[in-house]
Amino acid sequence: MFVGDGSRALERAGEEVLECRWCDLWRSGTRAVFGSEAPNAELMLVGEAPSEADLRTGEPFSGPSGELLDEWIEALGLSRERVWLTNVVKHRPAVEEKGREKNRPPRASESKACRVWLDIELEQVAPRLILALGGSAGKSLIGKDFRITQHRGVALPGPSGVPVVATFHPAYLLRLRSPELEAAQQAVQADLGLVRDLLARR
């Protein structure tokens, strides 16, 4: 475990993760993407895994789902520069479908192997609150019995007692059409309202 100054410890972890071989995801030949932004943020947002766009930039939430997430962060009265963004796994899990690679959820073994990096982020950032984006993040942070449809929108105890609020992943909303889209948008807005209220408590 990296100790000392939080910013430096995170920087070192970000360098070390590029050589990570704890699971087989590195064999895809793609780069690892560590967390980024505010190393002392009160709010940490945890997604599933890097996207294809993230692999190009080396930053989490770089593509269309990141643009939508930016709107959600703005709705909280925050900006990317004031939160910590990361994912459960740091390499992209993908399967080939119709001649191109498509994202897939990380396997439990992959999430477990990659947990060392998430634990470093949790320890060094030490957020007051975590927003889990999607089912994979919820399972990793809350437990294997987590179900996004049942447990989103409430504050549940997470790692080291830090409360976790789960909501849908932005990429999920981008795949929806009416009327499911409107229902999901309303759910997310309610979840963000809870996050905003919890952050306002001192």
Q: Strand, helix or coil at 112?
A: helix
Return the closest-CA partner of residue 30 out of 117, 134, 112, 103.
Answer: 103
DSSP per-residue string spanning 137-197: HHHHHH-TT--HHHHTTSEEE-GGG-EEEEE--HHHHHT--TTHHHHHHHHHHHHHHHHHH
Q: Could you tell me which residues are beta bridge partners of residue 131?
A: 45, 165
Q: Which of 128, 187, 189 is nearest to 163 (CA)?
A: 128
Beta partners for residue 102, in sequence order: 95
User: Whole-angstrom Cα distance, residue 121 to residue 14?
Assistant: 10
Nearest-CA neighbor of 129 among 168, 159, 172? 159
Under DSSP, the state recorded for 15 is H
Domains of the chain: 6-200 (3.40.470.10)
One pLDDT digit (tens) per residue for the chain, 202 residues: 344 457 899 999 999 999 999 999 998 878 999 999 999 999 999 999 999 999 999 999 999 999 999 999 999 999 999 999 999 999 999 888 787 888 889 999 999 999 999 999 999 999 999 999 999 999 999 999 999 999 999 999 999 999 999 999 999 999 999 999 999 999 999 999 999 999 998 6
The pLDDT value recorded for residue 2 is 44
Q: What is the pLDDT of residue 142?
A: 96
CB atoms closer than 10 angstroms to residue 128: 14
Q: For residue 98, what pLDDT is reported? A: 80
